[in-house]
């Protein structure tokens, strides 16, 4: 059987997947959000007022729907996007009418009266600094294509196009274009010899596609890079759309991100002065996700600087962990990276013949202990400190 520690590319891939997995919502917060979402759906679907008798659908969209959620950095809120989809032509209403009726419904309910906030194209419910839910209300344009919607824009006082279901379907079709990912091949073999390992990861861990993981990891570094300059942070919809556009079916997370960043850097470099990369909605080409880059050119400038910075760091991460560990820690966070290394050793070290590498990985993760027999392990004994060069702090 293939020993993961004899294949650096496979080991690196597993670490990246563990990092991405750790960035997803923890079970407690996920359950709170699911409960909140269900309550909103019940309130609207059982309405005895304006929405009574309407043919409506309620569903999540955005990162939750495409499987690319990333928990926020400290003090930031996670957002859940959902759609109130009215299966009736938009011209049966005014944009202000449907928006105001949804706002009124939430405002008049005791559970939500102090949580409601009007936004440009949605209504937000704020859950005590933990997370918020953005509800977009949309009406179909024509029954022949029920996924194409018109949504109200408060600033324009008019309808604008949207297609959240279509966008998610577009992304997932591209993500699923890979026949078998590097990790799927490895873990499917492990399952065939299950007796050799006590605890295998869930399907969610190793069957999530490289493109989904790539979006998670790129967004993670976006959050770190712009932590002190959030006004210029590149939006998730732009990063997600670019990633899907440039995805070539790579079976590895690392290669997926490498190709995406290479394309961004090379494409931007070929443009003439004054030109920019343009990213349109793949299911509605009339919608330019990057139109603000024309009126706020600093947004584009910061996007390019961020992309080039991550590209440079990604080239450094092609080296062995013994050389590239500090870069991984910088890009994803020290605790996140060390936690992934430690977890990998705990789960896969027991079936590896490379005990020296296992020990080194534990030391790198900061979790190594030496027992009274001199064996390095993660559980018992005296803790080993990671060796540093003189002057390294």
Q: Which residue has the higher pLDDT, 170 or 185?
A: 170
Q: Where do the domains of the chain lie?
A: 4-22+172-331, 47-163
Over residues 219-243, the mean pLDDT reads: 97
Q: Is residue 384's pLDDT more than 60?
A: no
Of 63-72, 136-145, 165-174, 282-291, the poorest mean pLDDT is in: 282-291
Which CATH class name applies to 47-163? Answer: alpha beta
89-107 pLDDT, tens digit per residue, is: 999 999 999 999 999 999 9
DSSP letters spanning 43-70: HHHT-SSTTTT--EEEEEETHHHHT---
Report the pLDDT value the prediction gives residue 352, as an integer from 0 to 100: 65
Over residues 245-271, the mean pLDDT reads: 96
Q: How far apart are CA 207 and CA 226, in angstroms?
A: 30
Over residues 286-309, the mean pLDDT reads: 94
- C-alpha distances out from residue 136 to 81, 95, 377, Å: 8, 12, 51
| Torsion angle of C-alpha atoms 312, 317, 320, 324, degrees rounded to 10 | 80
The fraction of the chain above a pLDDT of 90, given in percent, is 71
135-144 pLDDT, tens digit per residue, is: 999 999 999 9
275-290 pLDDT, tens digit per residue, is: 899 999 999 887 889 9
Question: Burial level of 261, CB count in 10 A (0-12/13-18/19+)?
Answer: buried
Q: How far apart are CA 73 and CA 23, in angstroms?
A: 10
């Amino acid at each position: 059987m293939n020993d993961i520690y004899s294949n650096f590319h496979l080991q690196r891939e597993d670490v990246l997947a563990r990092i991405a997995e750790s960035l997803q919502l923890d079970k407690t917060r996920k359950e709170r959000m699911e409960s909140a979402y269900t309550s909103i759906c019940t309130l609207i679907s059982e309405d005895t007022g304006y929405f009574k008798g309407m043919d409506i659908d309620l569903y999540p969209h955005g990162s939750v729907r495409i499987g690319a959620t990333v928990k926020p950095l400290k003090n930031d809120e996670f957002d859940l996007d959902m759609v109130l989809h009215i299966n009736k032509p938009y011209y049966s209403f005014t944009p202000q009418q449907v928006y105001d009726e949804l706002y009124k419904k939430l405002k008049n309910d005791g559970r939500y009266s102090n949580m409601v906030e009007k936004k440009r194209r949605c209504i937000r419910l704020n859950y005590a600094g933990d997370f918020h839910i953005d509800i977009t209300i949309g009406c179909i344009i024509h029954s022949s294509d029920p996924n194409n919607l018109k949504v109200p824009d408060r600033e324009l006082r008019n309808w604008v196009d949207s297609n959240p279901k279509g966008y998610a379907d577009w992304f997932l079709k591209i993500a699923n274009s890979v026949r078998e990912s590097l990790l799927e091949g490895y873990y499917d073999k492990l399952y065939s010899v299950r007796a050799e390992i006590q605890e295998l990861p869930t399907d969610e861990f190793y069957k999530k596609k490289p493109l989904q993981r790539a979006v998670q990891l790129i967004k993670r570094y976006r959050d770190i890079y712009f932590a002190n300059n959030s006004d210029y942070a590149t939006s998730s919809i732009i990063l997600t759309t670019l990633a899907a556009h440039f995805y070539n079916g790579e079976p590895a997370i690392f290669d997926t991100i490498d190709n995406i960043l290479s394309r961004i850097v090379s494409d931007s470099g070929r443009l003439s002065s004054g030109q920019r990369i343009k990213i349109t909605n793949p299911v509605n080409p009339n919608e330019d996700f990057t139109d603000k880059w024309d009126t706020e050119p600093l947004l584009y400038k910061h996007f390019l600087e961020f992309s080039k910075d991550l590209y440079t760091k990604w080239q450094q991460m092609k080296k062995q962990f013994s050389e590239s560990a500090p870069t991984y820690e910088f890009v994803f966070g020290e605790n996140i990276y060390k936690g992934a290394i430690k977890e990998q050793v705990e789960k896969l070290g027991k079936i590896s013949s490379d005990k020296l590498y296992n020990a080194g990985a534990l030391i790198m993760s900061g979790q190594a202990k030496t027992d009274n027999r001199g064996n390095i392990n993660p559980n018992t004994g005296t803790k080993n400190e990671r060796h540093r060069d003189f002057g390294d702090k």
